A and B are shown apart, each in its own frame.
Chain A
């Protein structure tokens, strides 16, 4: 009778710990997904703000057709990107085009004093910050998740239930690395 009870207790503990580990893994994976969607929201917002920016600046910058075209093109490429690595690359290019644009703006003091432009500029620079903070958070969550599924004993569960490692949201180019430093004033 006693050995049977011991076996039952051990089994029960085992099942409980399996449930616990499984739930932890699910929670962490959901956190990673949620962090990714945060990046996605901000990238979309950046795409939405660019037509506004171009529209406000156009009247002041008649002779900078090339700069506007570069931005518009980079934007449409970023919007059609399918995979994470494509998106990463296209967003990098978009960031680069915006940096160039903001450098050109320095030559137009009238534009820099325009209230509408200043408002769009604040929104855009804040969106850039949000992208980099969302990425920061995403990478933290991915690190946490990846550590968990590689460490004993949760690695056994992760293997059995097919939890795969997630990739970090990488910096595709040196130009993309510069994005958080962009100056909008």
Chain B
């Protein structure tokens, strides 16, 4: 467990340093191109300043910005007791130092993510669609996956790498657009010529443009490569925490086969944070393997289902090798022999239901989050009273009984 976290940390540092080198190089080249031979350091300064500014923002309130952008709402135990309980169970199993905050996103697409700086101040967000579709064991699997991200310090890595990636993209975009517009407006300045110096400047400019195009691509590839690996590790962690890989496997299957439209509040940089890539694949080509943020779901499901001997990291790693014929995804030091038996399914009533009922449940969960009042009339009609309803009494539209709002 600790070896895994340490190895993760080491990998993160290497990646962050590589991305930082990318960023600084880009800044240097752009500086040279724009301000001549002395400009390299100016470029470096600008790149560092952009990065520092973005880092400061993301460290002080990055998780809040992300949650607000996803339109996630903080909920308490009363809104969805099962979600709260499942999270607390996983918090205990993982021995997290503090209970993560829980958010619900009003979206019918089933998905979930975790964010925050440290295990002490983490947040988990799930969509209403996820809650409506999954049974208890499946929800436990998904939550365990998110808790594993928190435990493995993946949330910090995503924040750091995301900021670095954001800085690189920002810098190259500003430069390229600036080049485009300035060349539109004052092309004559360059062509009028200043002799040899101008010529060297032009070459420098070409190099800078190429760098500005290539750097973001490089950074994206680095970022995605590590985030794919982390998904496997979080799956392994979830199996270990729940002792029940089938729960997560079945949840992933349901999420993959879900017909609802893609999550509205997701973009390319935040995509690696979700349990399943929020972008629906339109053309499932092999080429996308390199640029996809997540391993193929079918493969993740097969690995989890193939774990028949136990729930330790070693069992997951063996299963991974059996399914993909690749070498293990885990650092060798994490593969100590652990004897962890699998458990049985909780014999919960199966939550198989019709699409229509699911959508109604999504709506109900969101109304609860938003402070609606739920009333049941003696005639059997269920009423949902909005929080801004004025007055203490409401008449049942079916049997016209007057109901008291206060008594509920």
Contact = CB atoms under 8 A, between A and B. Distances in A.
Given A119-B81, A185-B348, A137 B89 contact: no
A126 B89 contact: yes
A130 B92 contact: yes
A126 B88 contact: yes
B82 A183 contact: no
Interface stretch (B15-23, B54-62, B254-262, B339-347): B339-347
A35 B94 CA distance: 11
B85 interface: yes
A35 B85 CA distance: 18
A180 B143 CA distance: 19
B184 interface: no
Interface in A76-101: none
Given A181-B344, A181-B346, A183-B346, A38 B92 contact: yes
Q: Which of A38, A119, A130 has the most CB of B within 10 A?
A: A130
Interface residues of A, number: 21
A134 interface: yes
A71 to B, nearest CB: 20
Contacts of A133: 89-90, 92-93, 241
A134 B346 contact: no
A133 B243 CA distance: 10
A172 interface: no
A35 B95 contact: yes
Q: How would you classify the secondary structure of chain B's contact residues: helix, strand, loop or mixed?
A: helix
B262 to A, nearest CB: 32
Contacts of B344: 180-181
Interface residues of B, number: 19
Given A122-B81, A136-B93, A180-B343, A185 B88 contact: no
Nearest to A129: B89
Contact of B82 (A31, A122, A137): A122
Interface string A143-185: 0000000000000000000000000000000000000110101
B136 to A, nearest CB: 8
Contacts of B86: 126
A129 B243 CA distance: 12
B284 interface: no
Given A180-B343, A183-B346, A185-B349, A130 B95 contact: no
Interface of A: 31, 34-35, 38, 42, 119, 122-123, 125-126, 129-130, 133-134, 136-137, 141, 180-181, 183, 185
